[in-house]
């Protein structure tokens, strides 16, 4: 009956039971070679990157992957839950400004990486009531470098289930519906060091004048923007939204109205719900001249103040 070692070369086979293997002339050299190979393999395993401490997983990706194959409902709501669990940030009520309001930064689509959010939407209709074909949210797993991404999302098959989406081409998909594409990054989702934290904003109570910057002061709610003093409501801007005062206040219907420039356009707001931004230490007051605001924190929500 053949033995297990029958596949080895004749020189390496044993003889019948009780017999010793003959010591051929080349065996010492062969043994030395085998010892060297074993030593090299041992060193390779010891210093192989696979044996090193694993790189911590991206928190957004790690959290998203936990839901793979489970029912989570609409893509937007699922993404908000993932971001909150992974970073502590609460995405706002708008498909564009809601990201910025929660502290995310926008990054070029070509630079989007693991944990970043790709949002397809219409920039002219990004409010919470947006409803049109092509609106979609996905979380990046890998940037393939050719305009496509390996991503994960919910409800891609209209079944509310979280699935992988390999070779996702958001630009092509957006073009099919005439929509826009943006990528957003939260501070703990990857290259946070690229984002320079904004200095804290100090606000003060006091009269507002042309050239001042101000912040909406309606915690948990929003402030109505009107076309004219006490006139038609055009938008409602969330707490802490930055606005720029463009003229002098006017008193109408027992309310002091301030002309402002905002992320949603120009209009009038009630002065009592605005706080003036204090000028930086050592700087001239903002009322010394017009100032163009940087609209970073902003959101439109349903509940409102006049």
Which range, 147-161, 235-249, 276-290, is most confident? 147-161
Q: What end-to-end distance do the CA atoms of the chain give, in Å?
A: 97
Kindly state the tokens that stand for 215: 């912040």
DSSP H helices, the chain, are 27-47, 59-65, 75-87, 97-101, 170-177
Place of tokens 């693991």: 114
pLDDT at 6: 35
CB 256 within 8 A of CB 249: yes
Question: Which residues make beta-bridge pairs with 243?
Answer: 214
Q: Does the structure show a pLDDT above 90 at 143?
A: yes
CB 208 within 8 A of CB 265: no
Neighbour count for residue 213 (Cβ, 10 Å): 22
Average pLDDT on 112-120 reads: 96
Q: Does the structure show a pLDDT above 50 at 4?
A: no
Question: Which residues make beta-bridge pairs with 143?
Answer: 149
Average pLDDT on 76-96 reads: 92
Q: Does the structure show a pLDDT above 60 at 24?
A: no
Of 37-41, 92-96, 299-303, the poorest mean pLDDT is in 299-303
Which residue has better confidence, 141 or 8? 141
Kindly state the tokens that stand for 200: 């804290």
Q: Does the structure show a pLDDT above 60 at 301?
A: no
Question: What three-state secondary structure class fits 14?
Answer: coil
Of 45-49, 152-156, 238-242, the poorest mean pLDDT is in 45-49
Average pLDDT, the chain: 77
Q: How far is CA 129 from CA 95, 106, 183, 206, in A?
A: 10, 22, 21, 36
Give the whole-angstrom CA distance, residue 211 versus residue 169.
43
Give the whole-angstrom CA distance, residue 143 versus residue 115.
10
* E strand or H helix at 256: strand 255-262
Average pLDDT on 117-122 reads: 96
Kindly state the tokens that stand for 126: 């990004």
State pLDDT tens for residues 192-244: 333 344 456 788 888 999 999 999 898 877 889 999 999 998 888 777 888 99
pLDDT at 276: 93
CB 274 within 8 A of CB 258: yes
pLDDT at 236: 81
Neighbour count for residue 231 (Cβ, 10 Å): 12
Q: Domains plus CATH for the chain? A: 59-194 (3.90.1720.10), 203-305 (2.30.30.40)
Neighbour count for residue 209 (Cβ, 10 Å): 15
pLDDT at 29: 59
DSSP H helices, 106-150, are none
Which residue has better confidence, 58 or 298? 58
DSSP 259-300: EEEETTEEEEEEGGGEEEEPPPTTSPPGGGS-------S--B
Average pLDDT on 46-63 reads: 59
Place of tokens 């984002």: 195
CB 220 within 8 A of CB 304: no
pLDDT at 115: 95
Q: Which of left, alpha, beta for 262 (phi over 0: left; psi -120 to 50: alpha)?
A: beta
Of 87-96, 98-107, 199-208, the poorest mean pLDDT is in 199-208
Average pLDDT on 264-287 reads: 77
pLDDT at 292: 40
pLDDT at 56: 46
Query: Global pTM?
Result: 0.49
Of 73-77, 186-190, 270-274, the poorest mean pLDDT is in 186-190
Confidence class of residue 280 from pLDDT cuts 50, 70 and 90?
low
What 8-state DSSP symbol labels residue 19? Answer: P
State pLDDT tens for residues 182-193: 999 997 544 333
Which residue has better confidence, 46 or 67? 67
């Amino acid at each position: 009956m053949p033995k297990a070692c029958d596949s080895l070369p004749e020189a390496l086979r044993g003889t019948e039971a009780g017999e010793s293997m003959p010591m051929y002339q080349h065996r010492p050299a062969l043994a030395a070679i085998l010892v060297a190979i074993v030593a090299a393999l041992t060193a390779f395993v010891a210093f192989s990157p696979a044996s090193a401490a694993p790189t911590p997983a991206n928190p957004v990706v790690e959290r998203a992957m936990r839901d793979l194959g489970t029912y989570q409902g609409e893509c937007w709501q699922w993404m908000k839950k993932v971001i909150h669990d992974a970073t502590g940030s609460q995405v706002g009520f708008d498909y564009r400004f809601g990201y910025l309001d929660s502290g995310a930064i926008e990054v070029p689509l070509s630079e989007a990486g693991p944990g970043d959010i790709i949002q397809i939407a219409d920039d002219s209709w990004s409010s919470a009531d947006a409803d049109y074909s092509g609106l979609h949210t996905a979380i990046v797993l890998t940037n393939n470098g050719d305009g496509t991404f390996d991503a994960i999302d919910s409800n891609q098959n209209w079944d509310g289930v979280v699935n992988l989406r390999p070779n996702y081409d958001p630009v092509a998909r957006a073009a099919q519906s005439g929509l826009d594409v943006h990528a957003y990054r939260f501070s703990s989702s990857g290259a946070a060091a690229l984002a320079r934290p904004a200095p804290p904003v100090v606000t003060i109570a006091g009269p507002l004048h042309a050239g001042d910057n101000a912040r909406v002061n309606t915690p948990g709610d929003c402030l109505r923007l009107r076309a004219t003093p006490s006139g038609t409501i055009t938008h409602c801007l969330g707490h802490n939204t930055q606005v720029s005062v463009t003229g002098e206040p006017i008193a109408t219907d027992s309310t002091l109205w301030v002309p402002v420039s905002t992320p949603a356009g120009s209009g009038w707001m009630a002065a009592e719900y605005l706080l003036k931004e204090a000028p930086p230490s050592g700087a001239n007051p903002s009322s010394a001249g017009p100032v163009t605001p940087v609209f970073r924190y902003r959101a439109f929500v349903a509940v409102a103040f006049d």
